[in-house]
Amino acid sequence: RSQTGISHAKIICSSDREVFRQVLSAYLRGYEVIEVELDAKCDRKTVLERIEDARRILLGLELVEESARKLLLQCFVKPDYNLHSIIARMDSVTREMLSMAVDILLGKRGNAEELSQLDDRVDRLYFLSVRLIRGKLREPTLMPEERLSLLDMRLVAKNLENLGDTYESLGLLKEMIKNQKLSEIAERLGKLQAGAVRLFLEGKANRDELLDDFAHIQNYIQELAELPGYLREKLSFALLLVKDIIDLS
């Protein structure tokens, strides 16, 4: 931390392949300024491309200064973001991804590029939530029950990020599915996910009813032998991720 009170990370770039990971790590650790110093082994153009990749998924990260051998990034992230709102938004976007992925499979609307853009949005929210949670966990006055709540929230955020990846992979399947029961499964799965997140954030959903719905959807997926096995596997995996959120509530 500098004399101005701004936390500062310095990265010595010896391999342009590592820059993305190093910048991501510094962002998640809560640094406000990230300085990247290039040595002779680093290709400046490639490093800038990797940094642009990082900026695409790291909310608030900006390149504010650059010279031949130094790049300066700054994180314009408020520490008082509402974590509940971030989780709720991740839920909303991932459910939109599920709906679009199924429509792509059924040949109704959307394309893989639009789906990937939504997944990038989920990733940005996920990494922001991790940065904020890690910052709060470092607070010396944090009570034990608050620490547990934050750790649970990080697990829920990770599950939602995994759901986004799973729904994106559904839309990338290079096969048209003509079974309309897929829409029914997606609708029921989306409602279950919304209920699970509402239960976690607000405690307003009925846990027993959600678990009953989970069991019914699980059986329904397994009974649909006419759907390709790999598709049923992806839907079953998404369902288990939602079940994890219920269990954390």
Please tell me the predicted confidence (pLDDT) of residue 69. Answer: 85
CATH of region 83-248: 1.20.58.220
Any idea where the domains of the chain sit in the sequence? 8-75, 83-248
Confidence of residue 178 (pLDDT cuts 50, 70, 90): confident
Instruction: Express each pLDDT in 154-172 by its tens digit.
Output: 999 999 999 999 999 998 8
> What letter represents residue 68's amino acid?
A
Distance (Å, whole) CA 35 – CA 73: 6
Distance (Å, whole) CA 36 – CA 39: 10
Please tell me the predicted confidence (pLDDT) of residue 4. Answer: 45
The burial class, CB within 10 Å (0-12 / 13-18 / 19+), for 175 is exposed
Confidence of residue 5 (pLDDT cuts 50, 70, 90): low
Please tell me the predicted confidence (pLDDT) of residue 6. Answer: 65
pTM (predicted TM-score): 0.89
Distance (Å, whole) CA 225 – CA 232: 9
In order, the DSSP letters of 129-152 are HHHHHHHHHT-TT--HHHHHHHHH
- The stretch 160-186 carries a mean pLDDT of 88
- The stretch 114-141 carries a mean pLDDT of 94
- Residue 138 in this model has a pLDDT that exceeds 80: yes
The burial class, CB within 10 Å (0-12 / 13-18 / 19+), for 229 is exposed
CATH of region 8-75: 3.30.110.60
Residue 74: name the closest of 8, 150, 5 by CA. 8
